[in-house]
Amino acid sequence: MAKENGDVRMNPSQTKLSKPVFLLGDCDLLRSTQGLDGDKLWLTRLLDYCETPDPRVACVSIDQRVEQLGLEFSSVIVAMKQLGVTDCRLVSAHPDQTEKEWLFDADLLVIIGSNSLSERQTFFKSQLFDMIHEVVEQGVTVMAVADGAESLGYWQEDASGDSLMPGLELIPAMIRLQEEAEPQPQLKEWINTLTKKDQPMVGLGVCYGGAVIIHPGFKLEPIGMPMSCLTPIDDEIEQELVIPEPCLQRHRLH
């Protein structure tokens, strides 16, 4: 079943969302200059929720390896410059007092992920895990990129794709990046597995080359590409294809 945008029946998250969360399928979207309505950059949607013309941006990377930090952070810097935003800083996994103050005063929090199991495990044991939940509850706008988008859910695949590991638990779902918009067998299998373990969880499939805005109340707004939503209901998995509104549709954003 396909529909434009949609409300999702999710289990309540411990962290309450007061602003939308932006999930980006890949880092190339950060470098996109293609507008969704002609001239306007699609990233300007972020500024609508930051409530200030000169927002502070805190960037958190789950992957703390130097070479990865440089690549991903530079993409964020480029995207912010497109918006005229220059107040952008990286916050380390073990922040000093200055970094903590920057994080708690930020208007936009950007989360970059990692495909390294050891990096993910280290991050989830760091001080930043609880700090991120605090700033989200305070009302910061969140944008998560690529593996960072998958990390926002309660569960995510490990680097091998053979098992699950905990996520940041900001979105009460399992989020998986995928090549095709239609519900994928691997995501359905994970949702079935969690349901059988009495941990029923919504599954969200986000396309590479696409994005989705998750609004408070968990209404889905795909951008650029359709997305899939799998919802466990009794002993069945309801599968839906959520498509962008016509003005937001693109085959690719980059």
Q: What is the pLDDT of residues 176-223, one digit of tens each?
A: 999 988 888 889 998 998 888 888 889 999 998 888 999 988 889 998
Q: Does a structural domain hold residue 254?
A: no
Residue 177, domain CATH: 3.40.50.880
Name which of 175, 131, 160 is nearest 24 in CA terms. Answer: 175
- The domain tally of the chain equals 1
Burial class (CB in 10 A: 0-12, 13-18, 19+), 246: exposed
The whole domain housing 182 covers: 2-248
Write out the two tokens for 252. 């690719």
Strand 211-215 versus strand 21-24 pairing type = antiparallel
Integer Cα distance of 150 and 161 in angstroms: 12
Report whether 135 contacts 104 (CB < 8 A).
yes
208 residue type, one letter: Y
Write out the two tokens for 77. 């810097």
Q: What is the pLDDT of residues 71-89, one digit of tens each?
A: 677 878 877 887 788 899 9
Q: What is the pLDDT of residues 100-158, one digit of tens each?
A: 999 999 999 999 877 677 777 777 777 888 899 999 999 999 999 888 899 899 887 76
CB neighbours of residue 124 within 10 Å: 16
Report whether 63 contacts 72 (CB < 8 A).
yes
| Residue 245, C-beta contacts closer than 8 angstroms, at least 6 positions apart | 4, 5, 221
